[in-house]
Copies of this chain bind each other. A is one copy, B any other.
């Protein structure tokens, strides 16, 4: 490993003794007190301030993903908070490790399908049909579709579409997702709901966010939700009882130590 010849370069931030600059804006003079946290997320990530419409859409996305009850991420966070109450950041970090391929983190895969539908040379209808058939034939998971709880429809998705349309967006990604949804219902012969992560993949596509960073929005939003659960754990603890419940639910398959 030879010493690098050119230095690593960042476009994000620098500082002097008496100033901090984020993407060339003075943190103290131009950002603190002048922009919302949501706007700052866009500015930091994409290097430009969002339009009012984009800002509304991102707020809606971040509000949507914060909370959905005692999900795996909340359970993990509460177990860590019980074990290491002195390390709040660890409890959040452990819960965020659940934002993976299976649940909230699935939006980038959904965005990939939307992009595929949009890019098909014979138009979105043809693209949607091909995507639907490939998933049906291969019995593949359909990212952005279906929900184990919300049936027949995830109530968050139509609301998210309505907000985006009200705010005013080009609408291409949302249209492509709807086209895909129609093709899926036809090919599968039954209705499968567009779930919240599917709708969010379309909304974030509308504001120009690249698919490979979309999961980051789920991480930021869920991070805030997990802090709320830690606060509740501080005031009204549940983790010990959850642990006890799990202990009494799991059965041991061996022959030893049979309880009661």
| A119 CB-CB contact with B under 8 Å | no
| A251 CB-CB contact with B under 8 Å | yes
In the assembled complex, how far is the CB of residue A29 from the closest CB belonging to chain B, in whole angstroms?
8
Say which one of A30-38, A132-140, A182-190 lies at the interface with B: A30-38
Pair A80/B68 contact, Cβ less than 8 Å: no
Pair B90/A100 contact, Cβ less than 8 Å: yes
Chain B residues within 8 Å of A66, by CB: 22, 40-41, 44
Pair B19/A257 contact, Cβ less than 8 Å: yes
Chain B residues within 8 Å of A148, by CB: 1
Pair B98/A155 contact, Cβ less than 8 Å: no
B-binding residues in A (CB < 8 A) = 1-4, 6-24, 26-29, 31-33, 35-38, 40-41, 44-45, 56, 58-60, 62-64, 66-73, 75-76, 79-80, 82-94, 96-103, 105, 148-151, 153, 155-156, 159-160, 162-163, 166, 210, 212-213, 215-217, 219-221, 223-225, 227-232, 234, 236, 238-259
Chain B residues within 8 Å of A9, by CB: 236, 238, 250-253
**8 smallest A-B Cβ distances: which pairs?**
A84-B100, A8-B238, A216-B227, A14-B252, A83-B98, A72-B79, A93-B93, A37-B62
**What copy number does this chain have within its complex?**
4
Pair B63/A72 contact, Cβ less than 8 Å: no
Chain B residues within 8 Å of A241, by CB: 4, 6-8, 249
In the assembled complex, how far is the CB of residue A160 from the closest CB belonging to chain B, in whole angstroms?
7
Chain B residues within 8 Å of A243, by CB: 1, 70-72, 75
A66 to B223, CA, bound (A): 14
Pair B62/A40 contact, Cβ less than 8 Å: yes
Chain B residues within 8 Å of A229, by CB: 12
Chain B residues within 8 Å of A246, by CB: 70, 75, 242, 245-246
A225 to B37, CA, bound (A): 11
A247 to B241, CA, bound (A): 13
Chain B residues within 8 Å of A72, by CB: 79-80, 82-83, 239, 243
In the assembled complex, how far is the CB of residue A191 from the closest CB belonging to chain B, in whole angstroms?
14
- Give 18 CB contacts A-B under 8 Å: A4-B240, A6-B241, A9-B252, A13-B252, A16-B259, A19-B257, A20-B69, A33-B163, A35-B59, A37-B58, A72-B79, A72-B82, A72-B239, A80-B100, A84-B98, A90-B90, A216-B230, A216-B231
